[in-house]
Amino acid sequence: MCGIVGLHLREPSLEPRLGELLTAMLGQVVERGPDSAGVAVYGDPRLSPPGRTVVSLLGVTPAEAEAALPGAVALAADATTVVHGTGDLPAAVAKALPQATVIGSGNGMAVLKGTGNPVRLAESFGLASVTGWQGMGHTRMATESAVTPEGAHPFSVGPGQCLVHNGSFANHATVRRELRAQGVEFDSENDSEVGARFVAHQLAQGADLEKALKLLCERFDGFYTLLVSTGDSFAVVRDAIACKPALIAETDAWVAMASEYRALDVLPGIENARIFEPEPEEVYVWRR
């Protein structure tokens, strides 16, 4: 049992409230995942300044990152260090900071993770002050791997891509072996990372997000609700029997997804929203 929340804004006037709304949503699913939490936010100018490449890291401090990466700026957010700079920053990080774990990279997106109470983590991230046009959050109740920042969601393993997962993949070890045979590397033993790596691999091969998620449904066994985001998309899919809870709410101003209605009830205009439960193995995609 884990908690998922996500918000895709259509109305630009709401962008200054993205972090405030995500914080409120995350606070409503704490009981579903008290072990750890993480968020991905798109469009915040402090975390991901326009024209700069962003890399989110575990295992290094901001001072270490700035010393190793001349010209880069590093910010602390609990266990995460967010670095922004120019050029091929992921390659520079791999060379200069081999001890670091990259948990997100791209333009316009930052990933923040930590362990402990999700409400405390949101405060430590400064989430309420974040602005932007899209975000997702996850509260984790660990089942398949240890409680560590690396095991927290979201999993961001392709440029601008993120995945959060409620459930478990029964055949993740088999799919992990298949992906490793194709040169895909992993950072944790978390089953959800396998799903994220699979989707990223399909996107890199030329599939669009809808096709990648349809292929995931064909290949993965188990119970799952997934929320997947990219630099321009927001998508939801569930397993064949829709075992894990999910609700979608949609208005002219925003699209939101959550594991429980109470996380949607904090949103402005919820009383006028179209609210529905996603159908099994149907991929729902909204684009910017």
What is the rounded average pLDDT for all residues in the chain? 95
- pLDDT tens, position by position, 136-194: 999 987 776 678 888 899 999 999 999 999 999 999 999 999 999 999 999 888 899 99
Single-letter residue type at 185: E
pTM over 0.75: yes
How many other CB atoms are there within 10 angstroms of residue 66's CB atom?
17
Is residue 162 flagged as an active site residue? no
Q: Are strands 73-77 and 80-85 parallel, antiparallel or unpaired?
A: antiparallel
Helix axes 118-125 and 18-27, enclosed angle (nearest 10): 160
Please tell me which residue, 278 or 189, carries the higher pLDDT value: 278
Q: How far is CA 210 from CA 51, 191, 202, 225, 281, in A?
A: 28, 21, 10, 15, 11
Which is catalytic among the residues 2, 162, 217, 243? 2
Distance, in Å, from the CA atom of 27 to the CA atom of 62, rounded to the nearest integer, reads 28
Q: What is the pLDDT of residues 78-95, one digit of tens each?
A: 999 999 999 999 999 999
